[in-house]
């Protein structure tokens, strides 16, 4: 479609394997915009922000990388702080957009954003909002059943998906895209939005956060803490598609770590034990189809094994939680979960405070919680243990833990986060429903020499539990 194509970037912060970028080639001008919402960092009913300054920093790095990629293609990224229903219709009207696109989302807050934007566009007689699917490895249209019929147990979903759901080839990144409209029109639009004038070319994100993270309401102390990189971190990477592709290439081809993924994935220390792709997958800096393609290419060149299969298996788990979220709607966030159980909890503030601060009294649990607070990362093994401890041992509502993870995790994704918490709490997709992790047994199995606990709790003189405790 000729004319101006306005794309609303959300959790699709890449130019590679991107339907809207691919279709921009037929436009006269391509105008990418990201609307940074202060509501993402508002205080929750639990007494802490929805998302931390560290998560905001990772997002800012991802946007800087996206802007750099777009500039190489002949465009650039506009970042505006505000509400999408206010920003997008005004931009579309002022610039005379013939088309406005976005990646589809599937959870309540994001769907409400889409609804409000659609209504605002209609009120201003603007173009309808066009939505593209891009968050899953398996495209929703490739499922062998309607989303409403997705099985509630992962095994049943996996067997049918592997047999009947081919995965599309990723779209190539274009060599160039049509640039912005006239600078005069864009400058006028920025003034209308209260964002001031454009920076000179190459000076960074247009209109983006002149006051830094303070524009989003963070204090100087929060910003300073987010700027600190802990040398112990298992995720010593920056945000953005360039970092994502570098990690994917190194993990799969450079060091061929994927060949041992199944054996190492339960590790706790260092960056090599798992792929670490999830933060980039979460905000769309990396396409899941590109990750799938890389593994399949490695298998074609070197042969496949359980480990290469297992990485794709984990990408299917990610898809499963996304499709389930599409199916169950707001039940993803309710106390009784998708099973609608009548579940009550005895403890709240005091027990939760000790857990979140890494002062529960159990070294293995506390070490994981300190790592989360310091880095925004926690291993899969750690997540299962701390979640089980909060719900099963401390008898605290699982939603408090899910919200704390949402606050910290660089790879926060609402579907996987809340889906996994429901799983551990026995109100979700686990057919057993009564799963409890014994942290003593887990510490013996995965941190037998106590190195992980010693790394994150050096001030505590702890001993690894003795095997005899487990019979």
Alpha helices for 193-260 (secondary structure H): 220-226, 241-249
Per-residue model confidence as pLDDT tens for the chain (471 residues)? 579 999 999 999 999 999 999 998 889 999 999 999 999 999 999 999 999 999 999 999 999 999 999 999 999 899 888 899 999 999 999 999 999 999 999 999 999 999 999 999 999 998 999 999 999 999 999 999 999 999 999 999 999 999 999 999 999 999 999 988 765 655 555 554 444 333 333 344 444 555 578 888 899 999 999 999 999 999 999 999 999 999 999 999 999 999 999 999 999 999 999 999 999 999 999 999 999 999 999 999 999 999 999 999 999 999 999 999 999 999 999 999 999 998 888 877 889 999 999 999 999 999 999 999 999 999 999 999 999 999 999 999 999 999 999 999 999 999 999 999 999 999 998 767 677 899 999 999 999 999 999 999 998 755 555 444 433
Domain spans, the chain: 1-132, 241-331, 337-470
10 Å CB burial of residue 95 (0-12, 13-18, 19+) is buried
Furthest C-alpha separation in the chain: 76
Q: CB–CB of 421/405 below 8 Å? A: yes
- The rounded distance, in Å, linking the Cα atoms of 224 and 379 is 25
The one-character DSSP state at 336 is T
The helix, strand and coil proportions of the chain, stated in percent and rounded to the nearest 5, come to 55, 5, 40
Which listed CATH number (3.40.50.300, 3.10.20.600, 1.25.40.80, 1.20.1260.10) goes with 241-331?
1.25.40.80
* Long-range contacts of the stretch 440-443 (C-beta < 8 A, 24+): 440/364, 440/465, 440/469, 440/470, 441/465, 441/469, 441/470, 442/364, 442/381, 442/385, 443/363, 443/364
Quote the CA–CA distance of 324 and 336 in Å, as a whole number.
15
Alpha helices in 213-334 (DSSP H): 220-226, 241-249, 261-264, 278-282, 288-302, 306-328
Domains 241-331 and 337-470 share a fold: no
**Domain 337-470, CATH number (from 3.90.1310.10, 1.10.10.60, 1.10.579.10, 1.10.3720.10):** 1.10.579.10
Fold classification of 1-132 is Rossmann fold (3.40.50)
Check the CA dihedral 136-137-143-144 and report its sign. negative
């Amino acid at each position: 479609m000729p004319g101006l194509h306005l794309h609303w970037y959300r959790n699709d912060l890449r130019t590679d394997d991107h339907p809207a970028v691919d279709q921009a080639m037929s436009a006269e001008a391509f105008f990418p915009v990201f609307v940074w919402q202060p509501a993402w960092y508002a205080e929750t009913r639990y007494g802490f922000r929805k998302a931390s300054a560290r998560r905001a920093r990772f997002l800012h790095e991802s946007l800087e990388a996206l802007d750099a990629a777009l500039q190489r293609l002949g465009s650039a990224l506009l970042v505006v702080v505000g509400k999408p229903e206010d920003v997008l219709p005004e931009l579309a009207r002022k610039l005379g957009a013939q088309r406005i696109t976005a990646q589809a989302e599937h959870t309540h807050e994001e769907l409400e954003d889409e609804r409000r934007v659609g209504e605002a566009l209609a009120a201003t007689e603007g173009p309808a909002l066009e939505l593209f699917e891009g968050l899953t490895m398996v495209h929703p249209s490739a499922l062998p059943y309607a989303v409403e019929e997705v099985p509630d147990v992962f095994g049943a979903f996996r067997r049918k998906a592997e047999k009947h759901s081919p995965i599309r080839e990723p779209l190539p990144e274009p060599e160039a895209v049509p640039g912005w409209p006239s600078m005069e029109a864009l400058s006028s639009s920025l003034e209308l939005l209260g964002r001031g004038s454009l920076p000179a070319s190459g000076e960074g994100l247009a209109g983006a956060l002149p006051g830094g993270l303070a524009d989003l309401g963070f204090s100087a102390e929060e910003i300073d803490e987010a700027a600190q990189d802990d040398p112990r971190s298992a995720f010593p990477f920056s945000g953005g598609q360039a970092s994502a592709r570098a990690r994917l290439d190194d993990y799969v081809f450079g060091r061929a770590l994927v060949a041992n993924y199944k054996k190492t994935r339960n590790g706790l220390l260092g960056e090599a034990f798992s792929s670490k792709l999830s933060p980039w997958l979460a905000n769309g800096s990396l396409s899941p189809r590109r990750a799938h393609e890389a593994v399949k290419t490695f298998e074609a060149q070197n042969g496949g094994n359980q480990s290469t299969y297992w990485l794709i298996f984990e990408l299917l788990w990610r898809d499963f939680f996304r499709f389930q979220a599409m199916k169950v709607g707001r039940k993803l966030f309710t106390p009784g979960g998708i099973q609608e159980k009548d579940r009550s909890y005895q403890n709240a503030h005091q027990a939760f405070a000790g857990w979140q601060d890494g002062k529960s009294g159990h070294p293995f649990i506390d070490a994981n919680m300190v790592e989360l607070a310091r880095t925004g990362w926690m291993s899969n093994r750690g997540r299962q243990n701390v979640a089980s401890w909060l719900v099963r041992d401390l008898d605290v509502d699982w939603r408090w833990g899910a919200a704390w993870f949402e606050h910290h995790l660089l790879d926060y994704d609402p579907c996987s986060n809340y889906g996994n918490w429901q799983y551990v709490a026995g109100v979700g997709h686990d057919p057993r429903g009564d799963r409890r992790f014994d942290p003593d047994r887990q510490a013996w199995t995965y941190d037998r020499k106590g190195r992980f606990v010693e790394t994150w709790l050096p001030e505590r003189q702890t001993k690894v539990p003795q095997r005899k405790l487990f019979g």
